[in-house]
Amino acid sequence: MGWFSRTDNGFFIATVVPDNDAARVAKYLGIVHGEAIIGANIFRDLFSSVRDVVGGRAGGYERALSGARDAAVEDMVAAARELGADGVVGVDFDYEVLGEKNGMMMVAVGGTAVKMA
């Protein structure tokens, strides 16, 4: 199982609870989350369909998904800061297709807000 951690503007984000001397959790403050939903664009869909036929990556979707992921993380971090946290551990990402015709994608991220030692 892989994991990642990063420090962004003094805010610690990790997919696991750190257990080494470099980063220790002093206090658990509660569960926080963030969500972002992106709609499918007809032009992005058209070019994506062409990519499906000829092969390659769907850059428009990748950029949109990356933006949605960043927005969801920003929402989660904002919620954690409201609790007085300076980190979020146990971060988990979830991706869902939404809509009657699967025209939207949701990115949800959640974790535990913490005060680092």
Tens digits of per-residue pLDDT, 76-89?
A: 999 999 999 999 99
d(CA 105, CA 72): 12
pTM exceeds 0.85, yes or no: no
Tens digits of per-residue pLDDT, 33-74?
A: 999 998 765 445 545 555 555 556 666 677 788 889 999 999
d(CA 41, CA 19): 44
CATH code assigned at 76: 3.30.110.70
Residue in the block written with tokens 């499906």: 52
Residue 96's domain comprises 5-116
- Count of structural domains, the chain: 1
